[in-house]
Amino acid sequence: MESKSSLFSAAVILQYASGVLYVTLTSHNTPDASIAWRLPSTPVFPSHTSLSSLSYALGQTIGLQDTDISYKEQLYTTETIRESQSHTTICYLYLSRGMKWHKGTQQVGVFPITKLPKLSQEDKAIVRYALDRFHAKTLYSTIVGFILPEVFDLTQLQQAFETVTQQSVDRRNFRKKILSLGVLMPHSPEQTKSSPTTPTRYRLKSSQLTLFDTPFRMQSAKPEATLKASKNQSR
């Protein structure tokens, strides 16, 4: 038995700068001349994978190179049925270091996640899920290091951490903890000693995502009540 359906892939592309997380959206002219924003997405080309289609499409539509991306992860797959035609979308999380691009063309917008334009319910859900996942993963992996420049200081790291987890932590405790995890290496170019106002700079030891042996433990934002077991509930 054969089954054909239309398959798409979509990406939640996150960037970060100065305490703000940004998502990239693409605009789309609606019949009534208003502007509608969407998550960047593309049909999956025949005999290509969703990821390769997505990479290609992102290059075309928003000029995003694969080298701009520091981390990718599959989120989940959603299905909707419209006019007895099923639409399947495989969703991905993309991270980019710093503000690699921010061209506010008419087609492409980079929005702070606190100031998103109107989105479809589904896109909203995907973004929310991506942020929740990112938040959760920040507590037990080096993932937050992938939205920072390659080299950063502990203050920057902490600020990114606080932005993603939405809670502030004590500086000394944070430093103690993160250093005890052994996932950072000091990056000392010609800088011999650390002095006040000249922070010590670090980089991730591994270019791959690393999981912590002892995660951060903080109350990780209520898991929005209970979900129906028959719905997509990943995590």
Whether 75 and 12 have beta carbons less than 8 Å apart is answered as yes
Structure tokens belonging to residue 110: 């980079």
Distance (Å) of CA 92 to CA 11, 14, 76, 177: 5, 11, 7, 30
Q: How many CB atoms lie within 10 A of CB 49?
A: 12
CB 223 to DNA: min, Å? 18
Question: Residue 17 or residue 125: which is nearer to DNA going by CB?
Answer: 17
For residue 170, the partner it binds in its own copies, DNA, none, with Cβ less than 5 to 8 A by kind, is: DNA
Q: What are the residues whose beta carbons fall under 8 Å from the beta carbon of 216, sequence distance 6 or more?
A: 138, 139, 140, 177
Size of the site for DNA (CB under 7 A): 22
For residue 205, the partner it binds in its own copies, DNA, none, with Cβ less than 5 to 8 A by kind, is: none
CA dihedral of residues 143, 146, 151, 153 (deg, nearest 10): -50
Binding segment (CB under 7 A) for DNA, from list 34-42, 115-123, 175-183, 221-229: 175-183
For residue 6, the partner it binds in DNA, its own copies, none, with Cβ less than 5 to 8 A by kind, is: its own copies
User: Which H/E stretch holds residue 96?
Assistant: strand 85-96
Interface with its own copies (CB under 8 A), residue from 20, 38, 61, 76: 76
Q: Decide: is 114 part of the binding site for its own copies (CB under 8 A).
A: no
Query: What residue ranges bind its own copies (CB under 8 A)?
Result: 1-8, 43-51, 71-77, 79, 81, 84-86, 88, 90, 133, 137, 206, 208-211, 213-214, 217, 219, 223, 226-227, 229-230, 232-235
